[in-house]
């Protein structure tokens, strides 16, 4: 359930914070995700930032990665080297979320140096979340999901990494000029792996009750 709860925390915090941003209206296509965590007013990369519920987004940033990490730790079917293969990217994601929450990405942060921590957190999140879904997809048998689900997890992870590359390229090439669809491209690096983890968590949750039933039957026969 934690693999479901973590992404839901992020998406719900994002929606609530975006809904409160009415002047001007927040755009999922144009605005950076990080803008929602900046109370402002502030300006960065040509985007005006004023988020009345910045604390909601920052709480979401702080909690979502830690919750996903807890869900990965709770997986009993992944052990040895395979366990480290999922723990490392999950830890990157958790640390990234905490950095995003503690160091909002405002224009002032870029000037005082704390923006580096925010950027580090963002890319730890991008890389950690997408690599995590790819590794889970490759370990589909170990975590108890279908081959189709495994392939889907790998696909969303690859899409996320490609979107991250495009996002970084646009940031570096645009300078201070506004980028029309930068928010959409950034979400291409985040939302796919969040949705993938929700689906994986749901599949794992459905499997465990089914696995528990035969185990109870075996125990009952042994008692007889």
**Would you say the C-alpha torsion 74, 76, 77, 80 has a positive or negative sign?**
positive
pLDDT at 89 over 50: yes
Tokens of 73: 């730790």
Within a domain: 32: yes
Within a domain: 165: yes
Within a domain: 217: no
Contact call for residues 68 and 86 (beta carbons, < 8 A): no
**pLDDT given at position 129:** 98
**Predicted confidence band of residue 223 (pLDDT cuts 50, 70, 90):** very low
- Rounded to whole angstroms, the Cα distance separating 96 from 222 reads 48
Within a domain: 194: yes
Within a domain: 216: no
Span 107-113, average pLDDT: 84
Within a domain: 221: no
**pLDDT given at position 209:** 56
Within a domain: 91: yes
**pLDDT given at position 51:** 93
Share of the chain above pLDDT 90, in %: 65
Within a domain: 101: yes
Q: Which domain holds residue 188?
A: 2-206
Rounded to the nearest angstrom, the gap between the alpha carbon of residue 157 and the centroid of all alpha carbons in its chain is: 11
Q: What is the pLDDT of residues 25-66, one digit of tens each?
A: 899 999 999 999 999 899 888 888 999 999 999 999 999 999
- Number of domains, the chain: 1
Supply the CATH number for residue 115's domain: 1.20.1070
pLDDT at 217 over 80: no
Q: What is the pLDDT of residues 149-184, one digit of tens each?
A: 999 999 999 999 999 999 999 888 876 676 789 999
Which of 55, 52, 57 is CA-nearest to residue 14? 57
pLDDT at 220 over 80: no
């Amino acid at each position: 359930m934690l693999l479901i709860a973590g992404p839901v925390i992020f998406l719900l915090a994002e929606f609530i914070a975006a809904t409160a941003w009415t002047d001007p209206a927040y755009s999922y296509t144009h605005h950076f995700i990080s803008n929602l965590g900046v109370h402002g007013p502030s300006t960065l990369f040509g985007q005006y930032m004023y988020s009345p519920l910045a604390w909601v987004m920052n709480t979401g940033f702080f909690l979502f990665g830690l919750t996903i990490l807890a869900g990965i730790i709770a997986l009993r079917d992944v052990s040895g080297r395979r366990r480290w293969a999922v723990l490392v990217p999950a830890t990157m994601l958790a640390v990234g979320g905490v950095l995003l929450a503690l160091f909002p990405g405002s224009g002032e942060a870029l000037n005082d140096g704390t923006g580096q921590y925010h950027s580090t957190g963002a890319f730890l999140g991008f890389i950690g979340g997408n690599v995590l879904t790819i590794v889970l997809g490759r370990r589909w048998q170990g975590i108890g999901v279908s081959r189709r689900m495994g392939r889907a997890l790998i696909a969303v992870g690859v899409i996320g990494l490609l979107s991250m590359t495009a996002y970084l390229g646009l940031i570096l090439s645009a300078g201070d000029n506004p980028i029309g669809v930068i928010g959409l491209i950034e979400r291409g690096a985040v939302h796919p792996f969040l949705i993938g983890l929700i689906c994986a968590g749901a599949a794992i949750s459905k499997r465990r009750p089914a696995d528990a039933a035969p185990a109870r039957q075996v125990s009952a026969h042994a008692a007889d």
